[in-house]
Amino acid sequence: MSEIIKIFDTTLRDGEQSPGASMTPDEKIIIAKQLVKLNVDIIEAGFPIASEGDFNAVRRIAQEVKGAEIAGLARANREDIERAYEAIKYSDMPRIHTFIATSPIHIASKLKLKPEEVIERAVDSVKFAKKFTSSVEFSAEDATRSELPFLLEIFQKVIDAGATSINIPDTVGYTVPEEYAGIIKYLINNINGAEKVIFSVHCHNDLGLAVANTLSAIKAGARQIEATINGIGERAGNAALEEIVMALKTRKDFYNYDTNIITENIFPTSKLVSQITGISVQPNKAIIGKNAFLHESGIHQDGVLKAKETYEIMKPETVGITKDNIILGKHSGRHAFKDKLVQFGYDLSNEDFEKAFNAFKKIADKKKVVYDEDIDAIIAENILRIPQRYELKYINVNSGTFVKPSATIEMMMDDKSVLKAAFGDGPVDAAFKTIKEITDIDCKLITYSVKAITGGTDALGEVSVRIEYNGKQVSGQGADTDIIVASAKAFVNALNRLSYRLENWVDLK
């Protein structure tokens, strides 16, 4: 029987640190429940001391989500650790994940400590965490730029203090596969009692090597990998969970390791994370990209028609990409619609289902066929929403070759109706300026993108925006058959996210 590699998912913690990808507690709960369906072993639910909102989200996940270890991140100090445990203590399987930087540049420039002081803090933190839970993970931040003898010393001492998992993160995406494997082997071969702990790896993708580094670490002896859905995360992102899992599954002849992941839930999980974070999956993304199983070349098409194995190394159904013969339209009933939602991984309450179904009927009256992508947009627009301080009630835009673009908009703001109008350089600009006047939020538009969710002139248009306010970025999405309306919805959605986050953001020193 093959050895099992544990999957530590950090989408809700490290993945949320992607610019504009902040999530509400309700959204985190939805993703966490889907991660349980995916059958990950550990869910890193957040950084409880970072903000009241993060604490509440981690606590709710610990209370409501069963079937996986729930980890809370904590710096190597007692205040962080106590706060983390207060959040995760409701879990059947709580884990404290504590860390401190170990590279010379971090120790000198960021921590401003002596190396022996770093070790002292690490040991004290692990001993303190063990008072709360038996599952304690210790991470050496920036491990791949640390001096190996120092890394060996600090790991040996935290293991002696009771750490059960040791994480060797490539925090800045600096290492390469052969070097990383060498670090893992060195530590395993030289630590006394190495067989009593699990060696974990957490790789960033700054050089595009996160997955390759992770796989090389597994060959070198790592038995836990830390990754995110769709590879989201800070800067260039994290190692993509789906790529690692499918590499192990597809090339079992080479790796001979298994995971507990139910791979048929990979695609639904990917779609859910993309919808909630607003971070689209690139078409050529491995495993779950739109083009991952498409063949345009004549030679490839001919080969696939004769035998799929000629150009497909795995079946799309294996990762949850399925095609069915049920076409949804205005005559479709609740049963067909609900079946489609279940297929996509959406587990809605009766109230949310009715909201989604009513929205589906409105779209179906405008379109002959409602496609799978339209369903995603309906869910994002009507269900995956944050507290609504601002609500778009009415929009009218005038624009043309010889007309100065203007927008008249009515919004509900703090339960009061506000109607204003403004001119702009174009219809979208006019709408955005009007919304900014109504809300009195002078934010900067960082990105604006439009795509047709499906083909045809009746297609839903999906707009994604990212705005910045006081150095903080949030994203917003909106969908409608009218692209100007979709743009306004996206901007209002971003402002609601901003309003929510401003109440919860805390800058960590």
Q: Where are the domains of the chain?
A: 3-277, 293-323, 390-502
pTM comes to 0.81
- Cα-flanking dihedrals φ and ψ of residue 391, to 5°? -135, 130
**Predicted local distance difference test score (pLDDT) of residue 311:** 63
The pLDDT-based confidence of 105 (bands split at 50, 70, 90) is very high
Give the residue among 187, 149, 192 at the shortest CA–CA distance from 168: 187
**H or E element in which residue 361 lies:** helix 350-366
**Predicted local distance difference test score (pLDDT) of residue 508:** 44
Residues 288, 230: contact at Cβ < 8 Å?
yes
Q: In this structure, what token pair is assigned to residue 335?
A: 């049963």
Distance CA 366, CA 368 (A): 7
Radius of gyration for the chain, computed over Cα atoms and rounded to the nearest angstrom:
24
Q: Is the pLDDT of residue 164 over 70?
A: yes
Instruction: Please tell me which of 215-219, 355-359, 468-472 the model is most confident about, judged by mean pLDDT.
Output: 215-219
Residue 343 or 504, more confident: 343
Comparing 92-106, 134-148, 236-250, 323-337, the range with the smallest average pLDDT is 323-337
Place of tokens 């002896």: 221
* Averaged pLDDT for residues 64-79: 98
* Averaged pLDDT for residues 99-122: 97
Q: Is the pLDDT of residue 63 over 90?
A: yes
Angle CA(242)–CA(269)–CA(4) in degrees, nearest 5? 45
Comparing 88-97, 172-181, 282-291, 423-432, the range with the smallest average pLDDT is 282-291
Sign of CA dihedral 13, 17, 18, 24: positive
Instruction: Please tell me which of 133-147, 347-361, 373-387, 464-478 the model is most confident about, judged by mean pLDDT.
Output: 133-147
**Predicted local distance difference test score (pLDDT) of residue 454:** 63
- Cα-flanking dihedrals φ and ψ of residue 389, to 5°? -75, -35
- Cα-flanking dihedrals φ and ψ of residue 7, to 5°? -110, 115
Q: Is the pLDDT of residue 297 over 50?
A: no
How many Cβ atoms from other residues are within 10 Å of residue 157's Cβ? 16
How many Cβ atoms from other residues are within 10 Å of residue 64's Cβ? 12
135-152 confidence digits (pLDDT tens):
999 999 999 999 999 999
Distance CA 220, CA 215 (A): 9
**H or E element in which residue 211 lies:** helix 210-220
Our measurement of the distance from residue 328's CA atom to the centroid of its chain's CA atoms, rounded to an integer in Å, reads 29
Sign of CA dihedral 14, 15, 21, 26: negative
* Averaged pLDDT for residues 483-489: 94
* Averaged pLDDT for residues 214-225: 98
Strands 461-469 and 444-452: antiparallel
- Cα-flanking dihedrals φ and ψ of residue 460, to 5°? -70, 135
Q: In this structure, what token pair is assigned to residue 379?
A: 């869910």
Query: Which are the contacts of 195, defined by CB distance < 8 A and separation ≥ 6?
Result: none
Summarize the chain as % helix, strand, coil (round to 5). 45, 20, 30
Place of tokens 């063949």: 295
Distance CA 95, CA 146 (A): 25
Distance CA 118, CA 98 (A): 13
Residues 135, 175: contact at Cβ < 8 Å?
no
Give the residue among 379, 117, 191 at the shortest CA–CA distance from 273: 379
**Predicted local distance difference test score (pLDDT) of residue 504:** 61
Q: Is the pLDDT of residue 133 over 80?
A: yes
Q: In this structure, what token pair is assigned to residue 467?
A: 């705005």
Comparing 95-99, 225-229, 497-501, the range with the smallest average pLDDT is 497-501
Residue 281 or 346, more confident: 281
Give the residue among 96, 119, 95, 98 at the shortest CA–CA distance from 107: 119
* Averaged pLDDT for residues 168-177: 98
**Predicted local distance difference test score (pLDDT) of residue 377:** 72
Class of domain 390-502: alpha beta
The pLDDT-based confidence of 323 (bands split at 50, 70, 90) is low
* Averaged pLDDT for residues 177-188: 98
* Averaged pLDDT for residues 232-239: 95
Distance CA 170, CA 323 (A): 39
Calculate the alpha carbon distances from 383 to 230, 250, 347, 380, 386 in Å. Answer: 22, 35, 11, 6, 9
Inter-axis angle of helices 241-250 and 266-277, nearest 10: 170
Q: Is the pLDDT of residue 299 over 50?
A: no
**Predicted local distance difference test score (pLDDT) of residue 386:** 67
Query: Do the domains 390-502 and 3-277 match in fold?
Result: no
In the chain, what percentage of residues exceed pLDDT 70?
91
Q: In this structure, what token pair is assigned to residue 401?
A: 């070759």
The pLDDT-based confidence of 290 (bands split at 50, 70, 90) is confident
- Give the residues across from 136 on adjacent strands: 96
DSSP letter assigned to residue 348:
-
Q: What does CATH list as the number for 3-277?
A: 3.20.20.70
DSSP letter assigned to residue 282:
P
Instruction: Please tell me which of 7-21, 275-289, 417-431 the model is most confident about, judged by mean pLDDT.
Output: 417-431
Query: Which are the contacts of 159, defined by CB distance < 8 A and separation ≥ 6?
Result: 166, 191, 192, 193, 194, 196, 197
Comparing 185-194, 220-229, 238-247, 381-390, the range with the smallest average pLDDT is 381-390
What is the per-residue burial (b if ≥16 Cβ within 10 Å, else e) of 435-464? Answer: bbebbebebeeeebeeeebbeeeebbbbbb
Distance CA 187, CA 157 (A): 13
Comparing 167-176, 335-344, 433-442, the range with the smallest average pLDDT is 335-344
**Predicted local distance difference test score (pLDDT) of residue 366:** 75
Q: Is the pLDDT of residue 27 over 80?
A: yes
